[in-house]
Amino acid sequence: MMNGRPPRWFEWMLMSVLPIRDRETISGDLFEEYCQERLPRLGRLRANFWYVRQVVGFAVIRLVWGPFMKKALFAISLFTIAAGCWLAVMENVLKHDGHGGRTVLDLLIAAQGVVTVSVILFRAGSLLRLVAILGAIAVAWVGGSALWNILRATHFEGFVVVIGAALIAQGILTIAAFVRPHAIR
Amino acid sequence: MADLLGAFEQAVLLAIVKAGEDAYGRSVLRGVEDALNRGVAAGAVYATLNRLESKRLISSRLGEGTAERAGRARRYYRLTASGAAALNESKAALEQLWQGAKWPLGAGA
Kindly identify which residue of chain B lies nearest to residue A14, measuring between CA atoms: B43
Would you say residue B108 lies in a domain? no
The whole-number pLDDT of residue A124 equals 67
pLDDT bracket for residue B109 (50, 70, 90):
low
Q: Is residue B34 part of a domain?
A: yes
Within a domain: B79: yes
How close is the nearest chain B Cα to the Cα of A30, in Å?
A: 7
pLDDT of residue A2: 55
Confidence of residue A185 (pLDDT cuts 50, 70, 90): very low
Q: Provide, as residue numbers in chain B, all residues whose Cβ is less than 8 Å from the Cβ of A183.
A: none
Distance CA A126, CA B51 (A): 19
CA angle A120, A126, A132 (to 5 degrees): 55
Residue A35 Cα distances to A2, A4, A50, B57, angstroms: 8, 7, 12, 31
- Chain B residues at the A interface, defined by Cβ less than 8 Å, are 24-26, 29-30, 41-44, 46-47, 50-51, 54, 62, 65, 68-70, 72-75
**If DSSP codes are grouped into helix, strand and coil, which group holds residue A181?**
coil
With CA atoms as reference, the chain A residue closest to B52 would be A182
- CA distance linking residue B79 with residue B16, whole number of Å: 7
Task: Report the distance separating Cα A59 and Cα B101, nearest Å.
Answer: 44
**Which residues in A lie closer than 8 A to residue B42 (C-beta atoms)?**
26, 29-30, 33, 54, 57-58
Residue closest to A18 by CA, chosen among A50, A74, A57: A57
Q: How confident is the model at residue A184 (pLDDT cuts 50, 70, 90)?
A: very low
Give the per-residue pLDDT at A69. Answer: 78
- B72 in any annotated domain: yes
Q: Do A22 and B24 touch (CB under 8 A)?
A: no
Nearest to B75 by CA among A32, A36, A5, A1: A32
* Predicted confidence band of residue B74 (pLDDT cuts 50, 70, 90): very high
Residue B70: domain span: 7-92
Answer yes or no: do A24 and B70 touch at CB < 8 A: no
Position B107 in a domain: no
Residue A136 has pLDDT above 90, yes or no: yes
Contact B25 A53 (CB under 8 A): no
- CATH classification at residue B72: 1.10.10.10
In the predicted structure, residue A62 carries a pLDDT above the cut 80? no
Region B52-58 average pLDDT: 94
List the single range of A122-131, A138-147, B16-25, B69-78 with lowest mean pLDDT.
Answer: A122-131
Using alpha carbons only, what angle is made at residue B63 by residues B10 and B35, rounded to the nearest 5 degrees?
Answer: 25
Confidence of residue A4 (pLDDT cuts 50, 70, 90): confident
Domain range annotation of chain A: 8-63, 67-179
Q: For residue range A88-108, list pLDDT tens digits in order.
A: 999 999 888 888 999 999 999
| Secondary structure, 3-state, chain B | CCCCCCHHHHHHHHHHHHHHHHCEHHHHHHHHHHHHCCCCCHHHHHHHHHHHHHCCCEEEEEEEECHHHCCCEEEEEEECHHHHHHHHHHHHHHHHHHCCCCCCCCCCC
Give the per-residue pLDDT at B43.
92
Tell me the pLDDT band of B57, cut-offs 50, 70 and 90. very high
Total domains present in chain B: 1
- Asked if residue B12 belongs to a domain, the reply is yes
Task: Classify residue B23: in a domain, yes or no.
Answer: yes
